[in-house]
Amino acid sequence: MNKSFLTALCATGALMFGAAQAADGPSDGSVKVGVLTDMSGVYAAIEGPGSVIAAEMAIEDFGGEVLGQPIELASADHQEKADVASSIARRWIDRDNVDMIVGMVNSAVGLAVQGLASDKQTITMNTGAGSQELTESQCSKYGIHYVYDTYALPVGTATAMVENGGKKWFFITADYTFGHSLQKSTARVVRELGGEVVGSVNAPLGTNDFSSYLLQASSSGADVIALANAGNDTVNAIKQAHEFGIVDRGQKLAGMLVFLSDVKALGLETAQGLQFTTAFYWDRTEKSREWSQRFLDKHGEMPTMVDAGVYSATLAYLKAVEAAGTDEADAVRAELGDMKINDFFVTDGSIEPNGLMPHDMYLVRVKQPSESEGPWDLLEVVSTIPADQAYIATEDSACPLLGE
Amino acid sequence: MSIMNRVFWVVLIVAGLIAPHFVYPVFAMKLLCFALFACAFNLLLGYAGLLSFGHAAFFGGAAYITGHAVKVWGLSPLPGILVGTLFAMVLGAIFGSLAIRRQGIYFAMITLALAQIIFFLALKLPFTGGENGLQGVPRGTLLGVVDLSDPIAMYYMVFAIFLIGFLIIYRTVHSPFGQILTAIRENEPRARSLGYDVERFKLIAFTLSAALAGTAGATKALVFQFASLTDVHWQMSGEVVLMTLLGGMGTLFGPVAGAVTIVTLQNELASFGSWVQVAIGSIFVVCVLLFRRGFVGELARRLGAKSA
Amino acid sequence: MSLNAILAQTMLGLSQGVFYAMLSLGLAIIFGLLNVINFAHGALYMLGAFVALIGYSYLGPWLGQPDWHMGFWTALVVSPLLVGGLGMLIERFLLRRLYDFDHIYGLLLTFGIALILQGLFANYFNISGTPYPGQPESLSGIVNLGFMYFPKYRLFAILFSIVVCFATWFVIERTSLGAVLRAGVENPKLVEAFGINVPRMVTLTFGFGVALAALAGVLAAPIYSVSPLMGADLIITVFAVVVIGGMGSILGAIVTGLMLGLVQGLTQAVYPPAANTVIFFIMVVVLLIRPAGLFGKVV
């Protein structure tokens, strides 16, 4: 290889380099929604293929087009890995002109994608991840947190348990952002009500044998063993607690985040009596029943609160695009902040400047097998926690955006 | 230099220069990072005959260190990558001195175990972010002038790093040192009886390979602005073996071809879920059974060229 | 920590250790005779569990008999036979072609097979696991061990595995069949001269080692959810067990497997995050002090 040849190559390269910088940023002709979720992993039953169907339903119900352009849908599996998720999000935004990303179950994923998307001025509507950080210290102008957060979850559940005599708490916590965040806010509620935390142990995400942790919890003398985890982790922990007879010997389990799919997986026999907080239950109002039935027909399973949230968020986004007359993120975000969201999922919801969408939450109880009248008749709504009690007040939020 | 090698060089450089205008730049950068990783690995497997099953430790370890150096210490990109590379080099020297005393499968197992310890540290040390990974690593500006948040500018920096790494490997392989390595691989007792300090040569090869794998990982951390557990997981060590084997171990360009094939495959088949794994596994099996030379090696043989 | 708590964690460690022992025993037998590190061992363990799960939950409906289940005890026999058979096919038609080359190729081939098996199952089954509902009624419930309440089934799994492990050890180390096997390892030509079909012996041995993995898989099914990746992370730990025990040492594999399970159980009680890694620390230390492993012969 000779030198002049190399020089020539380098020169070509330099030329192309210049050319590429000039030709940048074509505008796109459609509105594209991306569902970024866990299609086959630990949380797939919560927000997996079902949430893609929910987004499809929202687009269909909206009429399939907005501003005279067809609405497109992309979906991808983030495999519970923040790096995979952010490289997909990056590609979607850079290359595929995705305008809004919804889903993102798993807080590590949620935070990574929200951070990346807000650098690139793209709206994210987080329906799956729970960490309160999303609207607190790591809040973003373009990041919306839609379904639930770790502040809202313990309010109903912990209050109910402490009032029933569960004063001493032991935590089994999923060892990442979400788990720690959930443990912290639950402990706060417990202490405020006069309870105490007697211990905690961190279990890796995706643990399949909780017996050692359960044993520590059991010998701690706690009244309540709180599971600050989600999805299959919760299911495994509850199942193994029964296997070791922990519940039979009087200690109570508190699932701090339980989904309908978890109850289904556990079965009523094991799950009966479990109380938890949820943002949605299909059998609550006429409207929720009607939508859920349609979802059931398509997906074969009743929607989790996250599936319902994906539908609601997608629909709200499309309405905002229409009202704003553009898919430009700043205009759409302003519209989302001004409008009232009303559907089967939320009544008079509005999105705060920090991205939070406060709405009513429900304390539910798993029915006994004898009370259940059908394969999906699993829960009973015990009480409603009004939005202003469930979620942190905007003036207490630590989101730096609010100071501006 | 054989004609085939010359063709490869030209294809490599031309393709490298025009790539970002035809493919998504981040994808092209990913290809380059993995190509360098595979080449670094090949230096060890292909030329020194040592199968390490723990190279993810260097790749991912450097990614974390660089990410931290750039994000927290505020280093600019090049010193950041250098710090990551140095870390991988030191780590390589430590691993190497523990592992080279054993051979074959034992060697593979020991490197695997050592890499698992790095994985544990990546999971547990406070600065790594555990399951979250080390997020939001800034790309910064190159030498204070070029803004690397521009993907094209970033691409050419990555390409330059790749070429430098590749040239180092090329020079090493064709130096007397490389000849001795090959001699050791072919017949260790003979090399020993000729008076060569076999252990020392192996250790140097291991350290160099680790350092370059570190460069690849460090660069990847800047490209994706991210270091995560995936980078240090043992499956990453497996993937680099596959890339090298598929392209052709002991050939200069084989690992590049292997890396490009595997990464492209992963990218294209991403929507088919786990079929990617099935496809990659099948390629692995077919490769081991029928094309142990890999496709560049096979091509070289058919063309009757000398070993590339 | 109280004595009871330590005993309790020891029991849990033991219930993990028996799986290490069963898997590392299979690996050690295969390594001893074939000099192949079977990377697919974890995937075959997973396959064993899936045979039990599919037999119980899916096979009936597929055959149009929704009420029919293949029970646990049947699975305990059928699964090792099926998976062992598959193992023999792998040995006969794939691995055998590589014996003339570097042993590393055997490892790489089985790595590829592991990827294929995991990928296939991950397409049809949830990665995070499907519960196995077929645990026999007679083994459900808990027993009071004095220092803890322990599920009956886990107790059964521990005892059953230990019996299987030591029976295998006995056959290989103390019977004439085992003597032939061991001789085949030392000097295949000589054994051939005595009229023994060595290639067939190799195939059968590989099948047996794999069958042990499948047996462990069936035993694991009721305890852990059955998942396509259940073997993937386990196998790396089991490799470490085999290396610590001394590659190819039968007794070493069993004893080390049980022992490391205990160590892991105790670590889980003291410092949970290190539980998965403590074995690798031990491995590094052992290799520095005794390069051939605890029970291995120095070559």
Q: What is the pLDDT of residues A319-363, one digit of tens each?
A: 999 898 888 899 999 999 999 999 999 988 889 989 999 999 999
Q: CA of C228 to nearest chain B CA: how many angstroms apart?
A: 11
| B286-293 CB contacts, 8 Å cutoff, 24+ apart | B287/B245, B287/B246, B287/C112, B288/B245, B288/C98, B288/C105, B288/C108, B288/C109, B288/C112, B289/C94, B289/C97, B289/C98, B289/C109, B292/B245, B292/C101, B292/C105, B293/B248, B293/B251
Answer yes or no: do A342 and A379 share one domain. no
Q: Give CA angle at C253 (C215, B117), nearest 5°.
A: 100
Q: What is the pLDDT of residue A287?
A: 92
B133 vs A: CB within 8 A? yes
For residue A243, what are its two tokens?
């296997």
Helix (H, G, I), strand (E, B) or coil at B226: strand
The arithmetic mean of pLDDT across residues A377-386, rounded, is: 91
Answer yes or no: do A275 and A291 share one domain. no
For residue A360, what are its two tokens?
């009513």
A–B CB contacts, 8 A cutoff, strictly below: 84
Answer yes or no: do A372 and A235 share one domain. yes
Check pLDDT > 70 for residue A24: no
Q: What is the pLDDT of residue B1?
A: 55
Q: The CATH number of the domain where A76 resides is what?
A: 3.40.50.2300
For residue B106, what are its two tokens?
């034992």
The letter for the amino acid at A244 is: F
Q: Which helix (H) or strand (E) holds B142?
A: strand B141-142
Is C251:C178 a contact under the CB 8 Å cutoff? no
Check pLDDT > 90 for residue A84: no
Which residues share a beta bridge with C186? none
Residue of chain C whose Cα is closest to the Cα of A209: C224
Q: Measured between beta carbons, which residues in chain A are less than 8 angstroms from residue B277? A: none
Q: Inspect the interface and report whether the beta carbons of A39 and B224 lie closer than 8 Å.
A: no
> Distance (Å, rounded) from C-alpha B26 to C-alpha A92?
12
> Distance (Å, rounded) from C-alpha A263 to C-alpha A309?
19
Domain-embedded: residue A21 = no
Is B308:B251 a contact under the CB 8 Å cutoff? yes
Q: What is the pLDDT of residue C299?
A: 47
Q: What is the pLDDT of residue A28?
A: 61
> What is the sign, positive or negative, of the torsion defined by CA atoms of A29, A30, A31, A35?
negative
Three-state secondary structure string covering chain A: CCHHHHHHHHHHHHHHHHHHHHCCCCCCCCEEEEEEECCCCCCCCCCCHHHHHHHHHHHHHHCCEECCEEEEEEEEECCCCHHHHHHHHHHHHHCCCCCEEEECCCHHHHHHHHHHHHHCCCEEEECCCCCHHHHCCCCCCCEEECCCCCCHHHHHHHHHHHHCCCCEEEEEEECCHHHHHHHHHHHHHHHHCCCEEEEEEEECCCCCCCHHHHHHHHHCCCCEEEEECCHHHHHHHHHHHHHCCCCCCCCEEEECCCCHHHHHHHCHHHHCCCEEEECCCCCCCHHHHHHHHHHHHHHCCCCCHHHHHHHHHHHHHHHHHHHHCCCCHHHHHHHHHHCCECCCCCCCECCCCCCECCCCEEEEEECCHHHCCCCCCCEEEEEEECHHHHCCCHHHCCCHHHHC
Q: Measured between beta carbons, which residues in chain B are less than 8 angstroms from residue A91? A: 24, 26-27
Check pLDDT > 60 for residue A26: no
Q: CA of A83 to nearest chain B CA: how many angstroms apart?
A: 6
Q: Which residues contact C20 (CB under 8 A, 6 or more apart)?
A: C237, C238, C241, C256, C257, C258, C260, C261
Q: What is the pLDDT of residue A73?
A: 92
Is A39:B273 a contact under the CB 8 Å cutoff? yes
Q: What is the pLDDT of residue B249?
A: 83
Q: What is the pLDDT of residue B15?
A: 83
Q: Where are the domains of chain B?
A: 3-302
Q: Inspect the interface and report whether the beta carbons of C236 and B277 lie closer than 8 Å.
A: no
Answer yes or no: do A133 and A36 share one domain. yes
What are B207-221's pLDDT values in tens digits? 999 999 999 999 999
| Phi/psi of residue A140, nearest 5 degrees | -140, 150
Q: Where are the domains of chain C?
A: 17-231
What are C19-45's pLDDT values in tens digits? 999 999 999 888 888 888 898 999 999
The arithmetic mean of pLDDT across residues A93-110, rounded, is: 89
Q: What is the pLDDT of residue C87?
A: 94
What are C147-161's pLDDT values in tens digits? 888 899 999 999 999
Answer yes or no: do A375 and A257 share one domain. yes
What are A135-158's pLDDT values in tens digits? 988 899 899 999 998 899 988 889
Q: Measured between beta carbons, which residues in chain C are less than 8 angstroms from residue B44? A: none
What band does B75 get if pLDDT is binned at 50, 70 and 90?
confident
Q: Which residues contact C118 (CB under 8 A, 6 or more apart)?
A: B274, B277, B281, C43, C46, C228, C229, C231, C232
Nearest partner of A85 among A52, A32, A129, judged by Cα: A129
Nearest to C127 among A41, A245, A265 (CB): A41
Helix (H, G, I), strand (E, B) or coil at C187: coil
Domain-embedded: residue A5 = no
Q: Inspect the interface and report whether the beta carbons of B21 and A20 lie closer than 8 Å.
A: yes
Q: Inspect the interface and report whether the beta carbons of B17 and A81 lie closer than 8 Å.
A: no
Check pLDDT > 60 for residue A404: no
Q: Which residues contact C282 (CB under 8 A, 6 or more apart)?
A: C240, C244, C260, C263
Q: Which residues contact B110 (CB under 8 A, 6 or more apart)?
A: B98, B99, B102, C243, C283, C284, C287
Q: What is the pLDDT of residue B26?
A: 85
In terms of residues, how long is chain C? 299
Q: Inspect the interface and report whether the beta carbons of C273 and B285 lie closer than 8 Å.
A: no
For residue B266, what are its two tokens?
């992963």
Between C246 and C255, the more confident residue is C255
What are B131-184's pLDDT values in tens digits? 778 887 888 777 777 777 788 888 999 999 999 999 999 999 888 888 888 888
The arithmetic mean of pLDDT across residues C213-239, rounded, is: 89
pTM attached to this predicted model:
0.85
Q: Which residues contact C146 (CB under 8 A, 6 or more apart)?
A: none
Is B137:B222 a contact under the CB 8 Å cutoff? yes
Q: Which of B50, B103, B262, B277 to mutate to test the interface with C (most CBs of C within 10 A)?
A: B277
The pLDDT mean for chain C works out to 87
Q: What is the pLDDT of residue C218?
A: 95
| Phi/psi of residue A374, nearest 5 degrees | -165, 170
Answer yes or no: do A159 and A243 share one domain. yes
Check pLDDT > 90 for residue C54: yes
Nearest to A16 among B18, B27, B123 (CB): B18
Q: Inspect the interface and report whether the beta carbons of A17 and B151 lie closer than 8 Å.
A: no
The pLDDT mean for chain A works out to 86
Answer yes or no: do A144 and A76 share one domain. yes
Q: What is the pLDDT of residue C254?
A: 92
The arithmetic mean of pLDDT across residues A3-29, rounded, is: 43
B273 vs C: CB within 8 A? yes
| Residue linked to tokens 């020169």 | A11
Q: CA of B227 to nearest chain A CA: how many angstroms apart?
A: 8
Is B98:B132 a contact under the CB 8 Å cutoff? no
Check pLDDT > 80 for residue C117: yes
Is C152:C144 a contact under the CB 8 Å cutoff? no
> Distance (Å, rounded) from C-alpha A71 to C-alpha A66?
7
Q: Measured between beta carbons, which residues in chain B are less than 8 angstroms from residue C247? A: 105-106
Q: CA of A27 to nearest chain C CA: how many angstroms apart?
A: 37
A265 vs C: CB within 8 A? yes
> Distance (Å, rounded) from C-alpha B254 to C-alpha B39?
8
Between A2 and C124, the more confident residue is C124
* DSSP 8-state secondary structure symbol assigned to residue B150: S
Residue of chain C whose Cα is closest to the Cα of B115: C280
What are A225-277's pLDDT values in tens digits? 999 998 888 888 998 898 888 888 888 888 899 999 889 888 888 888 888 99
Answer yes or no: do A158 and A266 share one domain. yes
Check pLDDT > 60 for residue A18: no
Q: Inspect the interface and report whether the beta carbons of C268 and A231 lie closer than 8 Å.
A: no
CA atoms within 13 A on the CB side of C219: 27
Q: Inspect the interface and report whether the beta carbons of A108 and B131 lie closer than 8 Å.
A: yes
Check pLDDT > 50 for residue A9: no
What are B272-294's pLDDT values in tens digits? 767 888 888 898 898 888 887 88
What band does B305 get if pLDDT is binned at 50, 70 and 90?
low
Q: Measured between beta carbons, which residues in chain C are less than 8 angstroms from residue B112? A: 236, 239
Q: What is the pLDDT of residue C157?
A: 94
Residue of chain A whose Cα is closest to the Cα of B228: A83
The arithmetic mean of pLDDT across residues C217-239, rounded, is: 87
The arithmetic mean of pLDDT across residues C239-259, rounded, is: 87
| B257-260 CB contacts, 8 Å cutoff, 24+ apart | B257/B294, B257/B295, B257/B296, B258/B38, B258/B294, B258/B295, B259/B31, B259/B34, B259/B35, B259/B37, B259/B38, B260/B31, B260/B35
What band does C50 get if pLDDT is binned at 50, 70 and 90?
very high
Check pLDDT > 70 for residue A99: yes
Least confident of B175-179, C114-118, C215-219: B175-179
Q: Inspect the interface and report whether the beta carbons of C129 and A175 lie closer than 8 Å.
A: no
Residue of chain B whose Cα is closest to the Cα of C125: B274
Q: Which of A243, A249, A261, A264 to mutate to test the interface with C (most CBs of C within 10 A)?
A: A243
Please measure the distance between the N-terminal and C-terminal CA atoms of chain A and give it in whole angstroms. Answer: 60
The class that CATH gives domain B3-302 is: mainly alpha
**Chain C residues with a Cβ under 8 Å from any Cβ in chain B:** 35, 37, 94, 97-98, 101-105, 107-109, 111-120, 122-123, 228, 236, 239-240, 243, 247, 273-274, 276-277, 280-281, 283-284, 287-288, 291
Check pLDDT > 90 for residue C98: no
Is C242:C257 a contact under the CB 8 Å cutoff? no
Between A402 and A60, the more confident residue is A60
Q: Inspect the interface and report whether the beta carbons of B27 and A90 lie closer than 8 Å.
A: no
> E-strand spans in chain C?
142-144, 149-151
Answer yes or no: do A272 and A253 share one domain. yes
What are A167-193's pLDDT values in tens digits? 899 999 988 888 998 999 999 999 999
The arithmetic mean of pLDDT across residues A209-219, rounded, is: 88
Check pLDDT > 80 for residue C182: no
> What is the sign, positive or negative, of the torsion defined by CA atoms of A170, A176, A182, A188?
positive
Q: CA of C99 to nearest chain B CA: how many angstroms apart?
A: 11
- For the CA atoms of B97, B99, B103, B107, what is the dihedral angle to 10 degrees? -160
Q: Measured between beta carbons, which residues in chain C are less than 8 angstroms from residue A40? A: 122, 126-127
For residue B109, what are its two tokens?
């197992």
A91 vs B: CB within 8 A? yes
Which residues share a beta bridge with A199? A170
Q: What is the pLDDT of residue A114?
A: 92
For residue A337, what are its two tokens?
């902040």
What band does A85 get if pLDDT is binned at 50, 70 and 90?
confident
A41 vs C: CB within 8 A? yes
Q: Which residues contact B51 (CB under 8 A, 6 or more apart)?
A: B45, B104, B107, B108, B241, C104, C107
In percent, the amount of chain C with pLDDT more than 70 equals 98
| Residue linked to tokens 């643990």 | A207
Q: What is the pLDDT of residue B168?
A: 93
| Residue linked to tokens 């460069």 | B215
Answer yes or no: do A208 and A263 share one domain. yes
Q: What is the pLDDT of residue C298?
A: 53
Domain holding A261, by residue range, is 152-280+361-386
Domain-embedded: residue A256 = yes
Q: What is the pLDDT of residue A30?
A: 81
Answer yes or no: do A122 and A168 share one domain. no
* DSSP 8-state secondary structure symbol assigned to residue C146: S
Q: Which residues contact A185 (CB under 8 A, 6 or more apart)?
A: A132, A150, A151, A153, A154
Q: Which of A1, A83, A97, A134 to mutate to test the interface with B (most CBs of B within 10 A)?
A: A83
When divided into structural domains, chain A yields a total of 2
Q: Inspect the interface and report whether the beta carbons of A40 and B6 lie closer than 8 Å.
A: no
Q: Measured between beta carbons, which residues in chain C are less than 8 angstroms from residue A206? A: 128
> Distance (Å, rounded) from C-alpha C21 to C-alpha C255?
7
The letter for the amino acid at C51 is: V
> Distance (Å, rounded) from C-alpha C177 to C-alpha C183?
10
Q: What is the pLDDT of residue A17?
A: 42
